[in-house]
Amino acid sequence: MGGNHGHHPGELSDGEARSRALESLLREKGLLQGDIVDKIVDVYTSDIGPLNGARAVAKAWVDDSFRARLLDNATAALREIGIGGMQGEYMVAVENTDAVHNVVVCTLCSCYPWPVLGLPPTWYKDAPYRSRVVREPRAVLAEFDTHLSDDVEIRVWDSSSEMRYLVLPQRPQGTEDLAEDQLVELVTRDSMIGVTVLPDYHAGVTA
Ligand code: FE
């Protein structure tokens, strides 16, 4: 919890200010045209994340050694499978168990692990989620239809420009016979933020 933020709400970080300045300069010089920036955003939304996170989670479920490396040093473990870069330089993976449930927030702004989860959902950036999930995580999770029993400890992780978190959700019941690439498809963005848990799997039933 806690940690220093490199920036504050309503204030551009150095990186944001630089990227805006760069974008206007490139437009002015005619080097950046049309909707290229939107296309980059699309790539982050649909191609890069949250599929990357799902790949890491499914691999951790089937490969104990990778799971151990992910929990020990997520940045390095993610790099093994080709995930890394902007907004994901220092990653920490936190594992859900029968006793502990993890959820991620950025209380000051909207720090988020882009390379693993793509773009943050709107609610993640909104003030109500950012303030309430710290004070009353159980109530906030219930609003996502996540009802945890009282004996499950909830840990809330506050992201910062230095540290981004990835929740390793529990492998769903009923997936013992599934291959890694089938498991990838079951992992949702929200389960990796920690606001939901993955439902039991029933062969032949698609979500
Ligand atoms: Fe932030």
Go through the domains of the chain in sequence order and give each one's CATH number: 35-193 (3.90.330.10)
Residue 1: pLDDT over 50: no
Q: Ligand 1: distance of its center to the CA of 130 in Å? A: 10
∠ CA 104-141-2, nearest 5°, is 30
3-state DSSP call for residue 92? strand
Inter-residue contact 103 to 141 (CB < 8 Å): yes
Q: Ligand 1: distance of its center to the CA of 105 in Å? A: 8
Mean pLDDT along residues 65-86: 93
Give the pLDDT score at 155: 98
Q: Ligand 1: distance of its center to the CA of 109 in Å? A: 4
Q: Ligand 1: distance of its center to the CA of 164 in Å? A: 9
Mean pLDDT along residues 59-69: 98
What is the distance, to the nearest Å, from the Cα of residue 188 to the centroid of all Cα atoms in its chain?
10
Mean pLDDT along residues 15-44: 72
Q: Ligand 1: distance of its center to the CA of 191 in Å? A: 20
Q: Ligand 1: distance of its center to the CA of 162 in Å? A: 9
The string of pLDDT tens digits covering residues 147-196 is 999 999 999 999 988 899 999 999 999 999 999 999 999 999 999 999 99
Measured CA distances, 28 to 18, 95, 148, 182 (Å): 15, 47, 53, 46
Residue 136: pLDDT over 60: yes
Q: Which positions are annotated as active-site residues? A: 106, 109-111
Closest CA to 162 of 89, 97, 102, 101: 89
In degrees and rounded to multiples of 5, residue 103 shows phi and psi of -140, 145
Is residue 174 left, alpha or beta, with left meaning phi > 0 and alpha meaning psi from -120 to 50?
left
Measured CA distances, 87 to 75, 84, 107, 126, 152 (Å): 11, 8, 17, 19, 30
The string of pLDDT tens digits covering residues 117-134 is 988 899 999 999 999 999
Closest CA to 154 of 75, 72, 94, 113: 94
Inter-residue contact 49 to 116 (CB < 8 Å): yes
The string of pLDDT tens digits covering residues 31-56 is 776 677 776 666 666 656 688 999 99
